[in-house]
Amino acid sequence: MRPGPVNRIHSTRKAADRGLGPTCSGGKRGFFLHTTLATTEEGVPVGLLNQQMWTRPEQAKGKGSRPQAAIEEKESARWLRSVHTSARLLPEEVRKIVIADREADIYELLSVLMHKRHDFVLRGTHNRVIEGEAGRLSTALENAPVNGCTTMRVRAADGRGARTARLLVRAVRVTLEPGTWVRQGVRERWQAEHPEQEPLARYPLEPLSLGVVEVIEHAVPEGEQGLHWRLLTSLPVDSLEDGYMVMDTIGCDGSLSDSTTSSRADAGWSACNWNSTSGSSRRRSRTALWRGIGSKRTLRDTSNASVSPHHRHCMG
């Protein structure tokens, strides 16, 4: 299941504005559309599972305006509705993998997916609180060794030039802790005010154990925005091949657009032995490796390298 990003549908005629609402700060009016697409494991589209359409009230401030509101009172509730609706439509025996971008980094959604036993790979955006000495997700990743490195062809788009990006890959398992809003009784307040409605977050919001794969671009060309992805997943992340499988599942092929800049990969990486392969050939090589029918490795494994945590190298 691939719940997609929200599409803003704008009106170009004043006479057609009736029933529409604000969509952005530029004064445009229209409505929002959120679509969930069903695909095969190979990515072949099967059909639409769910579409949600809505307009914003005239005084709405958009995202982040109600941080203490229950999930049912936020626009992000669409993600949970999509999962519940899609689960009812798909046969129980079908394995379900939810793939989504950064807007889906919602604690209630992660909780629902894990309780429903749906697998998932989501782009992370929050530096979440985690159990253990690290305390925060970013710290746990900074302390983790680099497991491997690879190259990827990045397509030109939106003023970005095409290039071959050098990527460093690390993976950790962490246990996320719920936010302070859980302790403040936000859900209990909403349920007391709406006793006739079934909550979207139907399960206790408890600590969640999951895997995180981080992908960071090394030696970013001047003037370009470096690639930086944090992938939250229920899939295994215990080996280098597991990490690459997670990357391929969500589609780390250079087409993901809203990357964040990272400077953590700018020092200490000169000894990496990079292999340049196209996205499609790399995926074929990985598939062969996972199935145990191929021996050609196009991605460097550094999981056994003994190096300083402040100066790790990808070993050839």
Domain limits, the chain: 1-69, 95-301
180-210: per-residue pLDDT in tens?
666 567 888 888 998 898 888 888 889 999 9
Strands, E assignment, 55-116: 97-100
57 vs 178: CA distance, rounded Å: 30
Interior angle at CA 82, CA 230 and CA 79, nearest 5:
40
pLDDT digits (tens, 9 = 90+) for 1-53: 677 666 666 555 555 567 788 777 667 778 888 889 888 877 788 888 989 88
pLDDT, one tens digit per residue, over 242-277 is 988 898 888 764 444 334 433 333 332 333 333 433
- Quote the pLDDT of residue 157: 79
Question: What would the CATH number be for the domain defined by 95-301?
Answer: 3.90.350.10
Q: Mention every residue, 6+ apart, whose C-beta is less than 8 A from residue 207.
A: 131, 175, 176, 177, 178
HSE-up of 22 (CA within 13 Å, CB side)? 10
Ordered alpha helix ranges (H), 215-298: 240-250, 279-291
Return the closest-CA partner of residue 229 out of 282, 154, 159, 290.
154
> pLDDT digit string (tens) for 72-129?
888 889 999 999 999 899 888 888 999 998 999 999 999 999 999 999 999 999 999 9
